[in-house]
Amino acid sequence: MSKQVALMVLVDIQSSAKISGILRLMFARLWLWSTSGLEFYKHMGSGKNGGFSIHPSGTHQALFCIFQDMASLEHFYQSSRLIRWYRAHAQDFFSVKLKAYSIKGKWSGFTPQITAEEPSSGPIVSITRASIKPLYCIPFWRKQPAAEVSLEKSSGCIIAAGIGEAPFFRQATFTIWESQAAMDQYARQGAHQSAIRASMSGHYFSESMFSRYQPFDASGSWKGRTLG
């Protein structure tokens, strides 16, 4: 089985460092690709308040990285200039390591490798992302608010963050659930079912990925809540 492992970082930057944070979102890619063992990454912004709004947040960001092995991930996590800057200038900083057990689709042509078996109990992570076709952008966003409200109120949802590479068109959702049962319960709810049926019709997305992970070594805080 592959040794590939992923890292997700969520950060809410202090207002005093907002401009510096935006500059890092724009230019950190210039040195990230030189990271040893890094196979894939996405440095992303977020909607207002770290959610799924069409209005961008000036302070919420996310970094998703996939490494060839744990040693490469740990070296990056301990030595990265970007991670150090985030820690020093964040009012909220949360990180979690991930092993994939279910992958459907691609992200910018890349498909993560399966590195774990489906867990029988305990927390799970879901990452869904899509490149929305311009013609279907408005219909998609008409459905999104109802799905977001039901997600935030859903029992068993520990973290829900709306993230994306580009406003409107390239979006992703990161969630942590107490259990598979909690996530399945949400998936059966009306607003989410309606959004999923529409998106799976084959018309909305030019590319998509639905992925599930085993989380481990989680630490930090998100939206003022300490997690670990």
Tens-digit pLDDT profile for residues 154-207: 788 899 898 988 776 788 889 999 999 998 888 776 554 555 555 555 577 888
Residue 159 near residue 126, CB atoms below 8 Å:
no
Within 36-99, residue ranges assigned H as helices are 70-79, 81-89
Evaluated on CA atoms 40, 45, 50, 54, the torsion sign reads negative
92 lies in some domain? yes
Mean predicted lDDT score pLDDT of the chain: 87
- In the chain, pLDDT over 70 holds for what percent of residues? 85
* pTM as predicted: 0.90
The residue-averaged pLDDT of 118-126 equals 93
Instruction: Dump pLDDT digits (tens) for 64-86.
Output: 999 999 999 999 999 999 999 99
Start-to-end C-alpha separation, the chain: 27
What pLDDT was estimated at residue 162? 87
The residue-averaged pLDDT of 136-149 equals 62
The count of other CB atoms within 10 Å of the CB of residue 88 is 10
227 lies in some domain? no
What is the length of the chain?
A: 228
* Phi-psi map region of 141: left, alpha, beta (phi>0 left; psi -120 to 50 alpha): alpha
What pLDDT was estimated at residue 202? 55
225 lies in some domain? no
Structural domains of the chain, count: 1
**Nearest CA-CA partner of 4 in 112, 130, 77:** 112
Residue 224 to residue 12: CA distance in whole angstroms: 10
**CA distances for 5 relative to 52, 86, 214, 222, angstroms:** 26, 21, 10, 22
CATH number of the domain enclosing 212 = 3.30.70.100
87 lies in some domain? yes
Instruction: Dump pLDDT digits (tens) for 87-105.
Output: 999 999 999 999 999 999 9
Task: Give the pLDDT band (50/70/90) at residue 1.
Answer: low
Is the pLDDT at 144 greater than 80, yes or no?
no
Instruction: Dump pLDDT digits (tens) for 21-66.
Output: 999 999 998 889 899 999 999 999 998 877 776 778 999 999 999 9
Residue partners of 127: CB distance under 8 A and separation at least 6: 8, 64, 172, 173, 174, 175, 209, 211, 213
What pLDDT was estimated at residue 130? 85
Structure tokens at 99: 């092993």
Q: Look up the domain containing 207 and give its range.
A: 5-219
175 lies in some domain? yes
Structure tokens at 63: 């970094």
What pLDDT was estimated at residue 35? 96
Is the pLDDT at 149 greater than 70, yes or no?
no
Residue 118 to residue 216: CA distance in whole angstroms: 14
Residue 52 to residue 39: CA distance in whole angstroms: 27
What pLDDT was estimated at residue 22? 95
Residue 5 to residue 114: CA distance in whole angstroms: 9
Residue partners of 186: CB distance under 8 A and separation at least 6: 150, 151, 154, 156, 157, 177, 192
75 lies in some domain? yes
